[in-house]
Amino acid sequence: MLIRLLTLYLRPYARSITAVLALQLVQISATLYLPTLNADVINNGVLPGDTGHVLRTGGVMLVLTLVQMVCAGTAVYFSARTAMALGRDLRADVFSHVQTFSVREVGRFGAASLITRTTNDVSQIQTLVVMVFTLMVAAPIMGVGSVLLALRQDVSMSLLLLIVLPVLVTAVTLIVSRMGPLSASLQQRVDRINKVMREQLTGLRVVRAFVRDEHEQSRFAAANNDTLAVSLRLGRIQALMMPTVTIVMEFSSIAVLWFGGHRVDDGTLQPGTLIAFLQYLTQILQAVMLAMLAFILSPRARVCAGRIQEVLDTPSSVVPPAVAAPPGPSGGLEIRYVAFRYPGAQEPVLHDVSLTARPGRTTAIVGSTGSGKTTLLQLVPRLFDADEGCVRVAGTDVRDMDRRTLAATVGLVTQRPYLFSGTIASNLRYGNPEASDEELWRALEVAQARDFVTSLPEGLQAPVAQGGSNVSGGQRQRLAIARVLVTRPAICLFDDSYSALDAATEARLRRALAEERADTTIVVVAQRVSSVRDADRIVVLDEGRVVGSGTHDELMDDSETYREIVLSQLTEEEAAA
């Protein structure tokens, strides 16, 4: 998974990568050649007392060291740039793919996990990329080169490598193989911390109102400590790496000095050759160590790549049509035999639901809590797709409509409207950036929000905090209604959108809406009977089924469920009035 992701995302940076590889090659060649020159200085300069040879070769060594430094620095610069660019591309792709998700996919991953995957997981891969460029490429070349050059210095002493290398590789493999599962578990713990944090910040007012600060703190501490425990377990295994390599390195050096020392004594090995051999041995073990550093990071990056790829490979359950059909001339809404079940739920929440809402008419949907009203409305702009049956907008199945056309035709004011950080104007123009100030004021007037906005010193430019947290619930609802009206949709869906308005404001709003949007299809979900009794048609939902349909008077006669709802809010006289 990691390789697949890296191959795909590094392709555009082939030039930078080639530069990094070339620079690494020069740097490593210099590193590899230096011990040979060192042996030469000792054997042919220092021992015979040839100062000229020492100065000449020493000069070459100095130049090589400078080249090595410049190349290493430049390679790190290019590696870091490439890794940053890769991170940006990955984040952009994950973000734009998540944008295509329906509520179903977002629910499957969870918002917190999607945020971790777009940020923390991408950073892990970036870090690995820098490591791969600076260490993983250099390490094998340096390792193999050092082995060859060590062999060239002295074959019999090189036999020692036959013992040292297998020991080292086995130890490293054992350690790294235990890190994989722990890394996966660590990323899940990071997800959990984000989830708890997000939930607590969103529900801050509830936490304060119920004085549950301590409970929330302990919930966060549990998630935090859990992450710490996994990090420590991972850290303990990682910590084994360095001592293992150091012990092997020290024992090998002692062995080289022991055997080499005897051979220098015998006169079968020159002191310079022994020092060069020791340097190559150190370089070989350093190469293994460098590769290991990358290995330490790779299990976590592998897990992160898997998590990112999982998001990228998940198709949206709301598929755009191959060829979009144009909306028909009629602006109405038809829902036919629709059934829907939430993912993972045992039972469907909608069964065989049909209704028709005509242009210029108001259709109301009523029903007890949890009867499926919101779910039904969400099928119209395709926040979900129905499992059975179809939803037609202006005569065309919504699944055959282009996303933009559908969005321009259907305006949904959600039950809990969300405002973005910015200004009132930027929020109102969210669906129609071209709208003039005049159009904004008109929409505000219909939504009964004109007075409130006028009273603000900055008017349309008044700031709105994230989520609309600096306006009241009723003001937020009215701004959300105005935002939909600015797009002038043929079908307006109001999901319990009047709940925070007082009865007089609601009546004014409904009147203004009827006048302003005389040819619009209006569908209203409401809990208050007063909000629906004047509707042209009222559809009664009960446990996801249509159990009645008609005007208020017809339903009072025909529908037991409707009568129960009405009489729970009004007296017999009020209901009949």
Ligand X SMILES: Nc1ncnc2c1ncn2[C@@H]1O[C@H](COP(=O)(O)OP(=O)(O)OP(=O)(O)O)[C@@H](O)[C@H]1O
List residues near ligand X by CB under 6 A. Answer: 107, 342, 345, 349, 367, 369-375, 415
Torsion of CA 51, 55, 60, 65, to 10 degrees: 120
Q: Which is nearer to ligand X, 396 or 497 (CB)?
A: 497
For 544: left if phi > 0, alpha if psi spans -120 to 50, otherwise beta; the answer is left
How far apart are CB 340 and ligand X at their closest, in Å?
Answer: 9
Q: Which is nearer to ligand X, 402 or 543 (CB)?
A: 543
Using CA atoms, how far apart are residues 536 and 206, in angstroms rounded to an integer?
39
Report the 10 Å Cβ neighbour count for 324. 15
Q: What is the DSSP letter of 541?
A: E
Q: Which is nearer to ligand X, 58 or 348 (CB)?
A: 348
Using CA atoms, how far apart are residues 514 and 96, in angstroms rounded to an integer?
38
Report the 10 Å Cβ neighbour count for 383. 16
Using CA atoms, how far apart are residues 20 and 369, in angstroms rounded to an integer?
63
Report the 10 Å Cβ neighbour count for 384. 18
Q: Choose among 43, 241, 266: nearest CA to 153.
A: 43
Q: Choose among 558, 422, 552, 564: nearest CA to 479.
A: 422
Report the 10 Å Cβ neighbour count for 24. 23
Q: Choose among 26, 27, 33, 25: nearest CA to 153.
A: 33
Using CA atoms, how far apart are residues 412 and 430, in angstroms rounded to an integer?
13
How far apart are CB 345 and ligand X at their closest, in Å?
Answer: 5
Q: Choose among 308, 341, 268: nearest CA to 2.
A: 308
Q: Which is nearer to ligand X, 104 or 450 (CB)?
A: 104
How far apart are CB 416 and ligand X at their closest, in Å?
Answer: 10
Q: Which is nearer to ligand X, 244 or 375 (CB)?
A: 375
Q: Which is nearer to ligand X, 27 or 371 (CB)?
A: 371
Q: Which is nearer to ligand X, 87 or 544 (CB)?
A: 544
For 493: left if phi > 0, alpha if psi spans -120 to 50, otherwise beta; the answer is beta
Q: What is the DSSP letter of 336?
A: E
Q: Which is nearer to ligand X, 119 or 527 (CB)?
A: 527
CB 377 within 8 A of CB 363: no
